Amino acid sequence: MDPNVTPYETVHNDVSNKYDVVIIGAGPVGLLLSTCLARWGYKIKHIDNRPEPTKTGRADGIQPRSLDLLRNMGLKPAIMAHEPAKVYEVAFWDPSSTISGIHRTGTWASCPSFIDARYPFTTLLHQGLIERVFISDLEKNGVNIQRPWTITGFKNDEKADAGFPVEVDLEHVDGKGKETVRARYLFSGEGSRSFVRDQLKIGIKHKDPIAHVWGVMDGVVKTDFPDIKMKCTIHSEHGSIMVIPRENDMVRLYIQIASSTDKDWNPRTTKTEQEVQNSAKRILEPYSIEWERVEWFSVYPIGQGIAEKYTLDHRVFYGRRCLPYTQPGQGMNTAFLDALNLAWKIHHVQAGFANRSLLESYESERKLIAENLLNFDAKYAALFSQRAPAAKDVAAASQQSDQTKDNGGEENQFIKTFKESCEFTSGYGVAYDPNLLNWSPSHPAQSNLINPSGHKLRTGRILINSNVTRVVDANVVHLEQEIPVNGSFRIYLFAGRPSSSGKALQDFVENLKKKSSFFSSYLRPDIDSVSHHERHNPHSHFFTFCTIFNTKRSDVEISRDVPPILARYRDHIYADDIWDQRVPDATAAAHAKMGLNEETGGVIVVRPDGYVGIVTSLVEGSGPVDALNEYFGSFCTKKLGESTAHL
Amino acid sequence: MDPNVTPYETVHNDVSNKYDVVIIGAGPVGLLLSTCLARWGYKIKHIDNRPEPTKTGRADGIQPRSLDLLRNMGLKPAIMAHEPAKVYEVAFWDPSSTISGIHRTGTWASCPSFIDARYPFTTLLHQGLIERVFISDLEKNGVNIQRPWTITGFKNDEKADAGFPVEVDLEHVDGKGKETVRARYLFSGEGSRSFVRDQLKIGIKHKDPIAHVWGVMDGVVKTDFPDIKMKCTIHSEHGSIMVIPRENDMVRLYIQIASSTDKDWNPRTTKTEQEVQNSAKRILEPYSIEWERVEWFSVYPIGQGIAEKYTLDHRVFYGRRCLPYTQPGQGMNTAFLDALNLAWKIHHVQAGFANRSLLESYESERKLIAENLLNFDAKYAALFSQRAPAAKDVAAASQQSDQTKDNGGEENQFIKTFKESCEFTSGYGVAYDPNLLNWSPSHPAQSNLINPSGHKLRTGRILINSNVTRVVDANVVHLEQEIPVNGSFRIYLFAGRPSSSGKALQDFVENLKKKSSFFSSYLRPDIDSVSHHERHNPHSHFFTFCTIFNTKRSDVEISRDVPPILARYRDHIYADDIWDQRVPDATAAAHAKMGLNEETGGVIVVRPDGYVGIVTSLVEGSGPVDALNEYFGSFCTKKLGESTAHL
């Protein structure tokens, strides 16, 4: 057996100092990576140099897209149990020309209706509480963060151990212990001062040499400022403040203190808590504000840096990339998606599904996102640094945005930036470029079934959400959430009308059964002993199937309408019979939202991280499975679909 | 001070053997009562004769209405964390005339769309898990269930102690300890064999002398029966089964074994687990079923009994009333509502708000519900005992039900019973008769503002649900859930258009301020030291105000549009600006759903348990507050509204 591969089903030989992944740092990026891999059966060593999780302060805004992800991981209830604040709107305040002090110029939805989000709000919760949710999940899977430990050295030496090429030296921060372990991968989620990055000599590219200094204060206040429970951007003659509501009647204030281009500038100690409060009081005039309690206060510089590389050898990864400044909290959300992107790729390589080269797409995909974010950030700052948008601008933007696609009208810079801003701050702006995983309309694929006309999905973007009825128990469910973050590709067969697509479904299954299909090539070795209660991966950890019919739930008879291989996923058979306000005239709203033919359906392959990979027609014959074989074959370890090469 | 009254704000003298309430039995009824009263500051002694909470089996279906209540108590997330099964539809199976064995005759929604439910499903979860949710909440409030202890005697002797007239003798079940305590109230939630009921010599009235014997089996099965994850009523030539899905891939089967009218009949031991499984196998033919694991199995008789009285003296209450048999699980849901009904009445009497006679409405309201349930149960059983409804009957019923009110057409018995069935099994069938708390259109009230024409609320019924936007933080919320179960009356001021109703709101507040208004009469003694973060009860524990405007959220300026007394409830100011599918043409959907004028609004008073008490117009002048004074005055300890008697 290839020593480089960890077949998913293999029980680990618990060689005490060998790990699949060693993770340094238990912030959001390290925790999400660790949580996924631990759930999928990998052996993890996770250390952090702090004696305990984040106590106070730090990034705290969970974007709508991140909340989708946390829900998909089953962690949303634990987050919501803390009763976080929810930001639905952003208010803008400016100096007034008529009264002394500030006045509100307008508000806008933080996630307006042109974004089709399940949770159109940002969830505000202290990072320490978020970390604890992950930590408690990790503990259920036998991973305990080793604290306070740090990394003191590492080297990648395939000759020493081809299976576990990375040697990592770890040490208790007080020197109370040392350990040397071997790993298949080393991941650094250390934050901005990274030992791993230093060792790899990976530079940080600065978009802009300027560093900004912010004062940040979390506390409980008494104020007559009416928008204290909203996110606010306040400009005044005395300076600027950003207001972010928090759980437990708390509020966070970001107060911009100074900027400098001096590399050696250290402003950390230049402002006291009292000075920052006085500054806030002046800015908020004519409103009053008093602190009942300050939970956390810090003054720190934020620069805009981006790591030039994320890895040198695809064994040692660096996971903390950039810190934009106009949108506090973006860091955590980006970190979640970084970690998820890497987690499933490591999994597919180690499980023997994908070629090692799949790992290269981690840097190319995620670095693009980081750069886009940085570029956007600069544009956003430039556009809004002088004035906040007026109420009428925002109204016009929101309205036009809803119709943009239809009227094709030209958008002005404000509206464009407004929309981009909403996409970025909601997390739905993430769009991966076409590559081997994301097959755009221009992909040089052989199959002409790919990208059927009319479909509204965008490869590299998240799957559009939809409501359907689960056939076995008549539960109304959110289709995009039905497959948990299980590391598998999600194959959605929108099957149209059973009367129209019966033969196509039958043919699909017949072609799955062929010897060199992706289905037959990656069957579980333990397939004969899988419990009949297994819902998601009865055949393989590579994929999960969902089948969705355009008909009433009670008209679907699984034993009659669904071929056995698909029927085996009996909890993943759905009726597309729930009305949707966004497509009020559709018979089958989920089909319609995807832009798939309501009679004949289509096939959507979604990557394990929720992004659309490829969309094809669902026609009779071998075409659909051929197309999927071609898609998966572009990164899989086995040659797929040979038997159909002559067609 | 009246020794009979516990002012809410008074710190208890911790006289070790004196309690506000002694509660016997930690099943659903005792736990909900205890949880409410403990949260509201009462001192509770709670005992149970079992060494630990229910381990397996027992009633397990949480109705839609009960889930609303659990959410309102903040307990829904803890329930949902267990991933309970959800029943959306009920399937009917009958002997087939064409094939051997059973076939499906149809399915119907367990809570069809003619019922406007937030959660149109029944939640299935093992009772022990539900109990633990309450127990853990109680522990946060310092109440620990004393186990295994039982009651051995009690007497009501006002002469011995007017404040704590009930003497209660308690004993460890193994005789390891004894205790005598005094209480203001004694509540028995003991179940069918009740020491308290026996002592009070309260009889059980049987609707029907017949007793039915059921076999009940919880387990994990392997079956090809397609509706194993639905609620099913199955009739076959070999007998009948009811299928109830459960959490963790479990299923509960109720198998009717025998009936008898012999009082001394004891069938508990007449069936073995194996016999019941064999019986189930025959009934389910042509489908197969095998048990992988049996978690719980029991054979027990169920009779239909109802206690003739719930109390003799309004000091000692008996809280377990009837056990209908066709709808397993009804017991727990009825128990929740019984407990809530009693909890707030005890609270309002002990807090000095209401006359002691308020307690009389507990028996009159809840006994009616129990009788209705029993009567319905018999009717339901009679109608469906011979045949299940055919698919077309159900379709016709569902369809007609949606339109019944409009076409005024006559309904046949089937449709009527179908609808009643849905109302009962959803919990929304609970309707209290007109009394001092529920002012029907025929109430001999002086004010002609009561029951404004067009309103769609029904006094004695639960408040209609609606979505609104909270002004301070722009959160979209469920209005009916905004005030938690805090023991207070909920006063909703639907304020119509600010431009139309400004004067009426102003007048409302001016009249609240009058010396003998319900507002001024029950101000908190500690009103000057109440935290400005107090959201629900800044003025009094008697009431909470909500104000809802027909306008866009961003157009409400609290400091300008809301008079100070109402503005003090700043978290309870809403904009009625969310579109609703049920009233698609309304500008203000919440106003429209209540049937209130969208320009001028109206006032709805909802009892602390969520049932509508009175509805009035919101007009200028003293009328609305006069009407509320009259309403509250009918059961309050103080004479209200004298100053307006001359109007």
Q: What is the pLDDT of residues B538-575, one digit of tens each?
A: 999 999 999 999 999 999 999 999 999 999 999 999 99
Contact A559 B475 (CB under 8 A): no
Distance from the B218 Cα atom to the nearest Cα atom in chain A, whole angstroms:
16
Averaged confidence pLDDT in chain A: 87
- Predicted confidence at residue A57, as pLDDT, reads 65
Mutate to test the interface with B, among A473, A534, A562, A581 (most CBs of B within 10 A): A473
Distance from the B381 Cα atom to the nearest Cα atom in chain A, whole angstroms:
25
In the structure encoding, which two tokens stand for residue A456, read together?
A: 């509204």
- Predicted confidence at residue A267, as pLDDT, reads 56
Mutate to test the interface with A, among B221, B225, B229 (most CBs of A within 10 A): B229
- Predicted confidence at residue B88, as pLDDT, reads 95
Task: Find the mean pLDDT for residues A97-117.
Answer: 89
Name the residue in chain A with its Cα closest to that of B554: A107
- Predicted confidence at residue B210, as pLDDT, reads 64
- Among A446-460, A625-639, B37-51, B219-233, whose mean pLDDT is lowest? A446-460
The pLDDT of residue B141 is above 50: yes
Residues ≥6 apart with Cβ < 8 Å to A110: A87, A88, A89, A90, A120, A121, A122, A231, A422, A425, A426
- Predicted confidence at residue B330, as pLDDT, reads 66
The pLDDT of residue A507 is above 60: yes
Task: Find the mean pLDDT for residues A440-460.
Answer: 88
- Among A2-16, B197-211, B516-530, whose mean pLDDT is lowest? A2-16
Name the residue in chain B with its Cα closest to that of A110: B474
Strands (E) across A231-377 are located at 231-236, 239-245, 250-260, 289-302, 305-307, 316-318
The pLDDT of residue A327 is above 70: no
Task: Find the mean pLDDT for residues A250-255.
Answer: 91
- Among A193-207, A557-571, B1-15, B123-137, whose mean pLDDT is lowest? B1-15
Q: Tell me which chain B residues have a C-beta less than 8 angstroms from the C-beta of A107.
A: 474, 554
Q: How many CA atoms lie within 13 A of A47 on its CB side?
A: 22
- DSSP assignment letter at B306: E
- Predicted confidence at residue A423, as pLDDT, reads 86
Averaged confidence pLDDT in chain B: 87
Strands (E) across A96-224 are located at 102-109, 122-124, 149-156, 166-172, 178-188, 204-206, 211-223
Contact B475 A81 (CB under 8 A): no
Residues B578, B552: Cα–Cα separation, whole Å = 9
Contact A473 B107 (CB under 8 A): no
Name the residue in chain B with its Cα closest to that of A469: B88
Contact A121 B475 (CB under 8 A): yes
**How distant is the alpha carbon of residue A42 from its chain centre?**
21
Q: Tell me which chain A residues have a C-beta less than 8 angstroms from the C-beta of B230.
A: 472-474
> Is the CB of residue B615 less than 8 Å from the CB of residue B450?
yes
Contact B473 A245 (CB under 8 A): yes
**How distant is the alpha carbon of residue A271 from its chain centre?**
36
| pLDDT single digits (tens) B77-130 | 999 999 999 999 999 898 888 888 999 988 888 898 889 999 999 999 888 899
Confidence of residue B610 (pLDDT cuts 50, 70, 90): very high
Task: Please name the member of B224, B229, B476 whose beta carbon is closest to the beta carbon of A473.
Answer: B229
B377 or A384, which is more confident?
A: B377
Please return the burial class of A530, using the count of CB atoms within 10 Å of its CB with bins 0-12, 13-18 and 19+.
middle
- Predicted confidence at residue A325, as pLDDT, reads 43
Sheet holding B250-260, edge to edge: B102-109, B89-95, B231-236, B239-245, B250-260, B211-223, B289-302
Helix (H) or strand (E) holding A360: helix A360-384
Name the residue in chain B with its Cα closest to that of A89: B474
Contact B473 A249 (CB under 8 A): no
The pLDDT of residue A93 is above 80: yes
- Predicted confidence at residue B10, as pLDDT, reads 38
- Among A23-37, A192-206, B162-176, B613-627, whose mean pLDDT is lowest? A192-206
For chain A, state the CA radius of gyration.
Answer: 26
Strands (E) across B110-230 are located at 122-124, 149-156, 166-172, 178-188, 204-206, 211-223
Residues B557, B562: Cα–Cα separation, whole Å = 8
CATH T-level assignment (fold) for domain A467-644: Glutaredoxin (3.40.30)
B372 or B7, which is more confident?
A: B372
CATH of B18-58+126-204+306-360, one of 3.50.50.60, 2.160.10.10, 3.40.50.620, 3.40.50.970: 3.50.50.60
Residues B584, B160: Cα–Cα separation, whole Å = 63
- Predicted confidence at residue A347, as pLDDT, reads 98
- Among A376-390, A430-444, B86-100, whose mean pLDDT is lowest? A376-390
A409 or B571, which is more confident?
A: B571
Distance from the B177 Cα atom to the nearest Cα atom in chain A, whole angstroms:
39
- Predicted confidence at residue A8, as pLDDT, reads 41
- A18-58+126-204+306-370 is classed in which CATH architecture? 3-Layer(bba) Sandwich (3.50)
Distance from the A622 Cα atom to the nearest Cα atom in chain B, whole angstroms:
30
B492 or B324, which is more confident?
A: B492
| pLDDT single digits (tens) A471-481 | 999 999 999 99
Cis peptide before A563 (omega within 30 of 0): no
Name the residue in chain B with its Cα closest to that of A552: B107
The pLDDT of residue A264 is above 70: no
Confidence of residue B376 (pLDDT cuts 50, 70, 90): confident
> Which of A87-96, B206-215, B376-385 is predicted most confidently?
A87-96
In the structure encoding, which two tokens stand for residue A537, read together?
A: 């991966």
- Predicted confidence at residue B310, as pLDDT, reads 85
- Predicted confidence at residue A385, as pLDDT, reads 57
| Sequential DSSP letters for A443-472 | ---S-TTBS-TT----TTSBPPP-EEEETT
The pLDDT of residue A216 is above 60: yes
The CA-CA-CA angle for residues A262, A268, A274, to 5°, reads: 130
Task: Please name the member of A109, A229, A581 whose beta carbon is closest to the beta carbon of B472.
Answer: A229
- Predicted confidence at residue B646, as pLDDT, reads 43
**Inter-chain Cβ pairs, chain A and chain B, closer than 8 A:** 76
Task: Find the mean pLDDT for residues A141-166.
Answer: 95
- Among A199-208, A256-265, B391-400, whose mean pLDDT is lowest? B391-400
Contact B473 A88 (CB under 8 A): yes
Q: Tell me which chain B residues have a C-beta less than 8 angstroms from the C-beta of A533.
A: 220, 249
Task: Please name the member of A249, A472, A474 whose beta carbon is closest to the beta carbon of B533.
Answer: A249
Confidence of residue A399 (pLDDT cuts 50, 70, 90): low
In the structure encoding, which two tokens stand for residue B140, read together?
A: 């946060």
Q: Tell me which chain B residues have a C-beta less than 8 angstroms from the C-beta of A80.
A: 77
- Predicted confidence at residue A11, as pLDDT, reads 38
Tokens 């509502």, residue located: B337
First and final CA of chain B: distance in angstroms?
A: 34
CATH of B85-123+209-302, one of 3.40.50.10490, 3.30.9.10, 3.30.1370.10, 3.20.20.60: 3.30.9.10
Contact A121 B473 (CB under 8 A): no
Distance from the B586 Cα atom to the nearest Cα atom in chain A, whole angstroms:
16
Task: Find the mean pLDDT for residues B174-183.
Answer: 94
Confidence of residue B445 (pLDDT cuts 50, 70, 90): confident
- Predicted confidence at residue A281, as pLDDT, reads 94
Q: Tell me which chain A residues have a C-beta less than 8 angstroms from the C-beta of B85.
A: 473
Name the residue in chain B with its Cα closest to that of A75: B81
- Among A433-442, B22-31, B199-208, B260-269, whose mean pLDDT is lowest? B260-269
A116 or B329, which is more confident?
A: A116
- Predicted confidence at residue A2, as pLDDT, reads 47
- Predicted confidence at residue B253, as pLDDT, reads 92
Task: Find the mean pLDDT for residues B569-597.
Answer: 97
Task: Find the mean pLDDT for residues A61-90.
Answer: 94
- Predicted confidence at residue B397, as pLDDT, reads 62
Task: Find the mean pLDDT for residues A191-220.
Answer: 79
ipTM (interface predicted TM): 0.90
Confidence of residue A646 (pLDDT cuts 50, 70, 90): very low
Distance from the A473 Cα atom to the nearest Cα atom in chain B, whole angstroms:
5
Contact A557 B226 (CB under 8 A): yes
Task: Please name the member of A107, A227, A473 whose beta carbon is closest to the beta carbon of B230.
Answer: A473
The pLDDT of residue A96 is above 60: yes
- Predicted confidence at residue A596, as pLDDT, reads 97
Task: Find the mean pLDDT for residues A582-589.
Answer: 96
Contact B88 A474 (CB under 8 A): yes
Tokens 């960890």, residue located: A6
The pLDDT of residue A4 is above 70: no
Instruction: Give chain A's contact residues with B (Cβ, < 8 Å).
Output: 77, 80-81, 85-89, 106-107, 109, 121, 220, 222, 224, 226-230, 245, 249, 469, 472-476, 532-533, 553-554, 557-559, 579, 581
Percent of chain A at pLDDT > 70 equals 85
Task: Please name the member of A77, A230, A553 whose beta carbon is closest to the beta carbon of B77.
Answer: A77
| pLDDT single digits (tens) A536-576 | 999 999 999 999 999 999 999 999 999 999 999 999 999 99
- Predicted confidence at residue A629, as pLDDT, reads 96
The pLDDT of residue A303 is above 80: no
- DSSP assignment letter at B409: P
* Predicted TM-score of the model (pTM): 0.92
The pLDDT of residue A630 is above 80: yes
The pLDDT of residue B642 is above 80: no
Confidence of residue A304 (pLDDT cuts 50, 70, 90): low
Classify A85-124+209-303 by CATH class.
Answer: alpha beta
Give the residue extent of every domain in chain A.
18-58+126-204+306-370, 85-124+209-303, 467-644
Q: Tell me which chain B residues have a C-beta less than 8 angstroms from the C-beta of A475.
A: 86, 88, 121
Q: Tell me which chain B residues have a C-beta less than 8 angstroms from the C-beta of A558.
A: 226
